[in-house]
Structure 1
Amino acid sequence: MLPILQLIVDTVAGVVGGVLLLRFWMQVTRVRPPASVAQFTFTLTDWLVRPLRRVLPGVGGYDWASLIGAFLVVLAASSVMFLAGWTVQMVLLTAVLRFLHWIIYGFIGLLILEVIFSWVNPDAPLAPFVRALNYPLLRPIRRVVPPIGGIDFSVLVAFVLLQILLRVIG
């Protein structure tokens, strides 16, 4: 019964936490989302972000309530491990590692979306939005790895670097 409960909790937490991280990253990169993405993001996360903003005001121009909210979601999802007899320290460490995994997998997902858009439909309505979200991640790589034969390998390099980071954390 515990693995099924963990699956359900992880799925719900993954969606909510991922959208909270997207909300934070959109604000960090100053990217204005398309109306449909904005409506989905704010509708799904306002219940947590608005109360947290009263306690955690934006500092340095960043919406820390979204980022802390994402961590609270992963912490709540990891708390199911208490039912399996885990200690507080084990749950906290697991929550921090899972939070870092969520961030890295979020970047990997954005890179995959950019590749799909570039192959299938570069002029899709969401393509500029995804490119803008990836730009801060790809900009330093593009300075070091220029296009070769008109092909941009920066996404591949970023993907490999993120995979390495996942293995180091894991």
Structure 2
Amino acid sequence: MVSTFSNIGVFILATLGILYLFAVLLRFMLQLARADFYNPISQGIVKITNPLLRPLRKIVPGFFGLDMASLVLALLVGWVMILGAGFLAGVGMLNPLSALLWSLLGCLMTLIAILFVGMLISIVVSWVAPHSANPALVLLRQLLEPVYAPVRKIIPPLGVIDISPIFVFILLTVADKLLLGFAQSAAMPQLVYNLFWHIPF
């Protein structure tokens, strides 16, 4: 019975934690991409993240246009998820420094997975509704453009066909596998790995 309650606790913590981590990482991506903050979805993300982000920005300044406070908050969210899951699962107190490293790796894997899934959605929509003005799709295109743009400079479109997503998919998959290798070398427990979202292959 205790094990069942522990599993339920870890599940609730992981679900709520990953949802908030999504919001924080999307907030970082919004500023990085100079996306439309008047988009209703952007406004929702801002409202969710502001209560913790505003106080943090008073002590964590931006750096070369990067929203460092959002990155720090993402690390802290992952860190709390890891330590909380370890406590709820009854594995004892995890090393806080190791948990911080695992949080960094987990946040990076989650960010890669967000981009990966976002690209899949964008590609499917480009075939069925290429000119949709849906706020979610407009925002998605804005968030992905900074990812595609550097690749397009090297590999331009073939006429009307943009092949940059193919190479971005390859780069994201390679990066995810490298991060998984780092996670294994950093002795990340399976419990911790399962807390974060990642490409499922």
Hey, what does 2:74 align to over in structure 1?
A: 70
SS at match of 2:61: coil
Choose the corresponding residue for 2:143, options 109, 126, 133. 133
Counterparts of 1:18-29 in structure 2 under 5 Å? Answer: 18-29=22-33
Residue 38 of structure 1 deviates from its aligned partner by 2.2
TM-score, with structure 1 as normaliser = 0.88
Superposition misfits of 4+ residues, deviation over 6 angstroms:
none
TM-score when normalising by structure 2: 0.75
| Structure 2: distance between partners of 1:64 and 1:89 | 20
Q: Tell me what 2:166 maps to.
A: 156
User: 119-128 or 45-54, which moves further after superposition?
Assistant: 119-128
Q: What is the RMSD computed on CA atoms of the aligned residues? A: 2.0
Aligned to 1:96, which of 104, 119, 140? 104
Which structure has greater helix proportion?
1
C-alpha distance in structure 1 between counterparts of 2:77 and 2:106, whole Å: 11
Deviation at 1:34, TM superposition (A): 4.6
CA deviations 1:92-142 (Å, max 9, x no partner) are 332121111112112213212321321221222233332221111111222
- Equivalent residue pairs, number: 170
Deviation, 1:22, is: 1.0
- Contact kept? 2:61, 2:68, Cα under 8 Å: yes
Kindly provide the amino acid, as one letter, of the partner of residue 99 in structure 1.
C
2:56 corresponding residue in structure 1: 52
Letter in 2 for 1:12: L
Give the secondary structure class of the aligned counterpart of 1:152: coil
**Residue 87 of structure 1, aligned match among 95, 106, 117:** 95
Looking at both structures, which has the greater relative contact order when contacts are Cα pairs under 8 Å and sequence separation is at least 6? 2
Amino acid at match of 2:20: V
Change (3 A) 1:71 1:117: same
What is the CA distance between 1:81 and its match in structure 2?
Answer: 4.0
The whole-number CA distance in structure 1 between the counterparts of 2:85 and 2:98 is 9
What residue number does 2:115 align with? Answer: 107
Which AA in structure 2 matches 1:18? F
Give aligned-pair identity as a percent: 29
Residue 21 of structure 1 contacts residue 67 of structure 1 at CA under 8 Å; is this kept in 2? Answer: yes
Aligned mates of 2:11, 2:165 — CA distance in 1:
31
- State which drifts further: 6-15 or 119-128: 119-128
Q: Could you list the runs of 5+ residues in structure 1 that have no partner in the other structure?
A: none
In the other structure, the counterpart of 2:194 is none
- Which whole-Å CA distance do the structure 1 matches of 2:10 and 2:152 have between them? 40
Query: Mean Cα displacement is larger for which, 101-110 or 53-62?
Result: 53-62
Q: Secondary structure at the match of 2:58?
A: helix
Alignment-derived partner of residue 188 in structure 2? none
